[in-house]
Structure 1
Amino acid sequence: MIEAAVTLADETRSRVTLTDTSATLLRHLWQSYGPLMFHQSGGCCDGSSPMCYPAGDFITSDQDVLLGRFEIGTADAAQPIDFWMSREQFAYWSHTHLTVDVVPGRGSGFSVEAPEGVRFLIRSRLMETVDPFA
């Protein structure tokens, strides 16, 4: 598992993780597409899956939140991948930790893994909290 670097102010714990399988796929995709990014919109159907784009192909704004930055480096170089979420979706998922995984099947034609016969999938769990009375 690869934990994303913390990018939100006043937070100390990562909100997003990559499984080893997703990191391996991302290294492969990087060779074909160059720098990559994720965006999680929270829409219906394929929009509820994390979408992987060549970095900069999806324009983010103040309506998006940078949840984390992965370093999936290879022997040649570090490969940073930002994980963005729409601000509206973050309002619903602010209490969750996300794990980006890969499963067989076709996802959206807009996400770069689609031709590989797999799709990225989010697995979520509640964020761990620190008990101030412990």
Structure 2
Amino acid sequence: MEHELEARPRIEGEEVSRVALSAAAVELLRRLWGRHGPLMFHQSGGCCDGSSPMCFPAGDFKTGDADVLLGTFDLTDAAGRPLGELDFWMSVEQFAYWKHTHLTVDVVAGRGSGFSVEAPEGKRFLIRSEIMG
């Protein structure tokens, strides 16, 4: 999968990005940022929509000791002007399963969870993964 934007690593001691955005994800996030302001992702475990990355207005999902900050994206508008930082969080439990993978947030047609800000767009975020080399 081709990556449009790699996140800055945020796990102490790591220098390689664990998470990226596809071009379609970047485009949708720019629109959502314009409507909702600063955003964040949280990836939990579980089934159904619980296994999809959820996008929230920054700070609307409370993170804590049960979460790991995998990376931060420096999001820009289409002209390259900075919009701001977008953090990607994952539950510690889910990270235990996915610690050897590189994740790419992508977009597909269809409705995901009603709690994620992209739901009204008729699109949903999903994760594509590959083993880190």
Same fold (TM > 0.5)? yes
SS in structure 2 at match of 1:61 = coil
Letter of the aligned partner of 1:52 in structure 2?
C
SS in structure 1 at match of 2:49 = helix
- In structure 2, the gaps of 5 or more residues are none
Q: Does 1:121 align with 2:106?
A: no
Number of matched residues?
128
By how many angstroms is 1:19 displaced? 0.4
**Can you list the C-alpha shifts for 1:28-63, whole angstroms capped at 9, x where unaligned?**
000100000000001111000000000000000011
Equivalent residue for 1:110, pick from 91, 108, 115: 115
CA distance in 2 between partners of 1:90 and 1:73 (Å): 27
Higher strand share: 2
Number of the residue aligned with 1:51: 54
Question: After the TM superposition, which residues 1-134 of structure 1 pair with which residues of structure 2 at under 5 Å, given as runs?
Answer: 1-74=4-77, 75=79, 76-128=81-133
CA distance in 1 between partners of 2:83 and 2:73 (Å): 10
CA distance in 1 between partners of 2:21 and 2:84 (Å): 14
- What percentage of residue pairs aligned between the two structures are identical? 66
Q: Could you say which structure has the larger radius of gyration?
A: 1
Pick which of 26-35 and 68-77 moved more.
Answer: 68-77
Structure 1 length-normalised TM: 0.93
Letter of the aligned partner of 1:118 in structure 2?
K
By how many angstroms is 1:10 displaced? 1.3
Letter of the aligned partner of 2:48 in structure 1?
C
Residue pair 1:72, 1:80 contacting (<8 A) in 2 also: yes
RMSD over aligned CA atoms reads 0.9
CA distance in 1 between partners of 2:113 and 2:43 (Å): 13
